[in-house]
Amino acid sequence: MRDHGPSQTRLRAWWAVVIWTVAGTGFGLAFFARGGPDGYAGDGARILAGAVAVAAGYAGYLLATWLTRGRRGEVMADERDAAVLARASRGTLVIVLLAVFALSVGLWEGYRAEGAVPVGWLWFLAYGTVIATFVVHSLATLVVDSTHDGHA
């Protein structure tokens, strides 16, 4: 265990959870407002609001990464941090792929009678995948970091 405060890896993961949860909430509000997925693709203001939410997520994430850098900009990570990030990445891949698969099949089943899924759902799938990947990876990093015993 570390006794000199949270590692850079843990600190960045906390920041990412907060930033991307806020960005995801902003995108969700834009997506589900005024008609939801059926009208999203034809509503330029909602598309812009969703894009701004995701861009703000990236900007906030980059700012947090910059603010948590070490002296002279180096990354302060050791072998333990690398092992934590590797395990978190493997878990994130599985979780996000399963979520995308489940959403895709769910949309197919939900709209099968209509013969087509509203194109707005493609926006949700695209932006949602980005947001979910950041949030899931950060949460997985925090979980693995708190339970990691030094072995990959």
Confidence of residue 7 (pLDDT cuts 50, 70, 90): confident
CA atoms within 13 A on the CB side of 143: 12
Task: Answer whether residue 29 is part of any domain.
Answer: yes
Q: Count H helices and E strands in the chain, helices first.
A: 5, 0
Contacts of 100 by beta carbon, 8 Å cutoff, 6+ apart: 125, 129
Let me know if residue 50 belongs to a domain.
yes
Q: What is the pLDDT of residues 18-64, one digit of tens each?
A: 999 999 999 999 999 988 999 999 999 999 999 999 999 999 999 99
Q: Is residue 152 part of a domain?
A: no
Residue 139 lies inside a defined structural domain of this protein: yes
CB 17 within 8 A of CB 139: yes
Tokens linked to 26 = 């902003």
Query: Which residue range forms the structural domain that includes residue 94?
Result: 8-147
Tell me whether residue 123 is in a domain. yes
Q: Are the CB atoms for 84 and 148 separated by under 8 Å?
A: yes
User: In sequence order, what DSSP letters do the residues of 113-129 get, joined into one string?
Assistant: TTTS--THHHHHHHHHH
CA distance 1 to 13: 17
How many C-beta atoms surround the C-beta of residue 97 within 10 A?
11
Model confidence at 4, pLDDT cuts 50, 70, 90, reads: low
Q: Is residue 3 situated within a structural domain?
A: no
Residue 2 lies in a domain: no
Whether residue 1 lies inside any domain: the answer is no
Q: Which of 24, 28, 44, 48 is nearest to 36 (CA)?
A: 28
* 8 A C-beta contact, residue 1 and residue 129: no
Residue 125, both tokens: 């799938």
Q: Is the dihedral of CA 70, 73, 134, 39 positive or negative?
A: positive
> If you average pLDDT over residues 135-140, what whole number do you get?
97
Give per-residue pLDDT as tens, 51-84: 999 999 999 999 999 998 877 766 676 788 889 9
Q: How many domains does the chain have?
A: 1
The mean pLDDT of the chain is 90
